[in-house]
Amino acid sequence: MVNLEMPGFIKPQLATLRAKAPVGPQWIHEIKFDGYRVQLNLNRGKKRAFTRNGHDWVRRFSTIAGAFDISGQAIVDGEVVVIHEGRTNFSELQVDLAAGRQDRLVYYAFDLLWRDGDLRRLPQIERKQALRDLLDENGVELPVIYSEHLFGDGQEMFEHATKLNWEGIISKRADAPYRSERTEAWLKIKTIQKGKFPVIGFVKDPTGVAALYLGKREGKELVYMGKVGTGWDRTTSRKIRNALDTVVSPKTKLTRPIKKPKATWVEPSFVADIEYRDITSEGLLRASSFKGLTKIRAPR
């Protein structure tokens, strides 16, 4: 490679959301990690760790940066995660970062943009091989892990990811260069969890609801699970409001009351069908979306 002046932060390539994984020999498929995108900039002993927005967080990720004892220059693209109960967990990562802990942080390296010269024009599969060679030849070990990939049926891998409760997969064109924008050469296919949660309150808007407060039955207790504010149009919002207005309660029915000044509390007589990405370490739904409302049938 021609030895050029090493750049600083490189704007990352982003994936386009798709409902189904692509098929064909031109695609490779990787696990989608639920963490912080981090670009490691290694310049003859000087190390920086850039976030997706270009902030240098090397102090927060000093253990990961320290694992790269390499000569020369390199820019590695990857994801910092915490593995909790067999999968990456963004909420646990946030807890550790807030506390300044690094002992559970893992860095999944998935691309190499620079190695004593610019690699971004090389095909994806060649960059990944160069990355593996960099890690192997320099004895880079935990907390750094090479992000493995598979060729073949992306949908089969996605279904496997769903069963294991991963966040999803990333499918990448094996022959594509690295481009600092959202492209069709990288596709993300996300898994979705579904559940039914009692509606315990709502926030009014002029004609319907702005948000629903949700609960969950745990034995004899009714605990708070967070709120949902998307997934309906004006007509549906009005129908939800009309239904909930029939079961308004003067106070919350949660076992452990919470303060929500804008809430109108209701009897938990309706359940909401919810799609969500995850449950946070605080026990709240993350990235939730409303899909339907059903009245609970009273026992005969």
Residue 79 is which amino acid? E
State the pLDDT confidence band at 147, using cuts at 50, 70 and 90.
Answer: very high
Out of 111-125, 182-196, 236-250, least confident range:
182-196
Domains of the chain by start residue, with CATH: 14-190 (3.30.470.30), 193-295 (2.40.50.140)
Task: Please give the average per-residue pLDDT across 98-102, as a whole number.
Answer: 94
Out of 65-74, 90-99, 194-203, least confident range:
90-99
| HSE, side-chain direction, 13 A CA sphere, residue 171 | 26
For residue 187, the model assigns a pLDDT of 96
Q: Which of 23, 28, 14 shows the shortest CA–CA distance to 172?
A: 28
| Bridge partner residues of 82 (DSSP) | 105
Say whether pLDDT at 299 is over 70: no
CB 143 within 8 A of CB 67: yes
State the pLDDT confidence band at 1, using cuts at 50, 70 and 90.
Answer: very low
Task: Please give the average per-residue pLDDT across 149-159, as a whole number.
Answer: 88
For residue 88, the model assigns a pLDDT of 87
Say whether pLDDT at 2 is over 60: no
- Give the integer Cα–Cα distance in Å for 64 and 300: 60
Span 158-206, pLDDT tens digits = 988 888 878 899 999 999 999 999 999 999 998 888 899 999 999 999 9
For residue 298, the model assigns a pLDDT of 57
State the pLDDT confidence band at 300, using cuts at 50, 70 and 90.
Answer: very low
Out of 117-131, 137-151, 269-283, least confident range:
269-283
pTM of the model: 0.75
CB 145 within 8 A of CB 109: yes
Q: What is the mean pLDDT of the chain?
A: 92
State the pLDDT confidence band at 3, using cuts at 50, 70 and 90.
Answer: low
For residue 282, the model assigns a pLDDT of 82
